Structure 1
Amino acid sequence: MLERQHELDPKQETIMVCRGGNRSGLACELPGEKGFNAVNMIGGMNEWTDTTV
């Protein structure tokens, strides 16, 4: 994250995703401390459903 943070817009929401939602929740901490709008996708890919189909 620190090496590539210049690629993110701190004004836009950045969604962190993992399989179950736990690791992505932890992954939100550092960007949040740096002023980024990082949010956890609760439930991760296990709970994700494609509503565009």
Structure 2
Amino acid sequence: MGKKPGRPPTWTRRQLIDGVRFRTRTGVPWRNVPERYGPWARMYDLFRRWQREGT
């Protein structure tokens, strides 16, 4: 119990959050965020979701 069904995430939520923070801190384009933070599109989706929610 407590395990979610489906494929486990490749990138941790922490990596994506760090990528969003890196981008907002440095101001680089989304596509230029280093790969160690995960795919830029996933970071952008997370950022846009937070932006729409007012987080």
Fold-level similarity (TM above 0.5): no
Structure 2-normalised TM-score?
A: 0.27
Structure 1-normalised TM-score?
A: 0.28
Return the structure number with greater helix share: 2
Specify which structure has the bigger relative contact order, considering alpha-carbon pairs within 8 angstroms and separated by 6 or more residues. 1
Give 1 or 2 for the bigger CA radius of gyration. Answer: 2
Return the structure number with greater strand share: 1
